[in-house]
Structure 1
């Protein structure tokens, strides 16, 4: 069974997720937004106090609010794979050019050690995560689907009552909607979606009431 724990970090109120395989304590850290010392202490204390075995650092995409804590995670867990879709490497490498003006002058870059690809299955203890390619908000955006648990870590693709913004470099609204319809709305209505910002929702709720999907 995969348990999902969330933290809300940084000035963008970004959701950082821990994906924890209950049987083995194997854990993936997804989109660590911890920037301040207090945020980093909060994240690290939870990982250590729960005796979690960190095995992966995963980025759904590489906008600044989702990658602020990458270097911090790798400093504490230096031998884990750091995976990002290759199409979002330029997005990640651009962050240092604007981190200062956005108020994150102490941002430390980190380079992925491998890739996330469409259809890839990530083994996390006894749990399995399917990587689904869902561009539109960012060129290399992916979502992570736990079929056994009926839950999805969706980054900035689909929100409660909304969808991801597409006015940033590499964004495209038509592509985003096509990704949502193909990769998310094809999932069961009961699937819980954990977005990059705001509260969790379900596929069924968004199918019925999201004004962007009408």
Structure 2
């Protein structure tokens, strides 16, 4: 099961991945900002009788971590983030103030992700792939059996992640896409941090920012 929620004024995609038989689940990038959004996520988990095992972050930009404190408290899970994104994570509260966003609840990171890590949720296996550029510690989660990638803000339908934010690097982003994502089979589905899903093959052929090799 892959369930996407579009949260906040940033139209961020939060994902719940679950194994249909064991009902074990993982939440990726909880962008729920408003209380109603947090309740929508909690209600879905309850109605589907899911047991959340992990809270995984592709990166630490504010729109992807609004709901971390809520998820940790509600489901009793620990947070995983790449260490290189900690300066961004630690600055979220001040960035929220800069945007005029009130009510953000600061959270904590419990474990550092690194490329090659694997998470098992029931029969689902997620491999961690390092894809910096949009953020220095950005990662993606690949399920080879299901032939999909939860890619955060790296590759979008006919677009790519912005690199004009602090710590962004355009050359790194292009390299990540070419070496880590475009090397996957063409039929792999990309579930992005914003917008609708696409496929590796589609983006290799039509993406105006990063074409295939």
C-alpha displacement at 1:4, in angstroms? 1.1
Task: Map Cα deviations across residues 41-74 of structure 1 (whole Å, 9 max, x no partner).
Answer: 1110000111001000011000000000001101
C-alpha displacement at 1:192, in angstroms? 0.3
Q: Secondary structure of the equivalent of 2:30? A: coil
Misfit runs of 4+, over 6 Å:
none
| 2:27 corresponds to which of 16, 26, 29 | 29
1:97 corresponds to: 94
2:161 corresponds to: 164
Q: Secondary structure of the equivalent of 2:17? A: strand
In 2: Cα distance, 1:97 partner to 1:43 partner = 25
In 2: Cα distance, 1:36 partner to 1:81 partner = 22
Alignment of 1:1-214 (within 5 A): 3-78=1-76, 80-214=77-211
In 1: Cα distance, 2:94 partner to 2:64 partner = 16
Q: Secondary structure of the equivalent of 1:98? A: helix
In 1: Cα distance, 2:5 partner to 2:95 partner = 24
CA contact (8 A) 2:32 2:66 kept: yes
CA contact (8 A) 2:72 2:78 kept: no
C-alpha displacement at 1:23, in angstroms? 1.9
C-alpha displacement at 1:103, in angstroms? 3.0
In 2: Cα distance, 1:66 partner to 1:169 partner = 16
Q: Secondary structure of the equivalent of 1:213? A: coil
For this pair of structures, how many residues does the alignment match? 211
Task: Map Cα deviations across residues 29-51 of structure 1 (whole Å, 9 max, x no partner).
Answer: 00001011111111100001110
In 1: Cα distance, 2:207 partner to 2:187 partner = 15
C-alpha displacement at 1:101, in angstroms? 2.7
Q: Secondary structure of the equivalent of 1:176? A: helix
CA contact (8 A) 2:4 2:15 kept: yes
Question: Which residues of structure 2 form unaligned runs of 5+?
Answer: none
Question: Which residues of structure 1 form unaligned runs of 5+?
Answer: none
Q: TM-score, normalised by structure 1?
A: 0.97
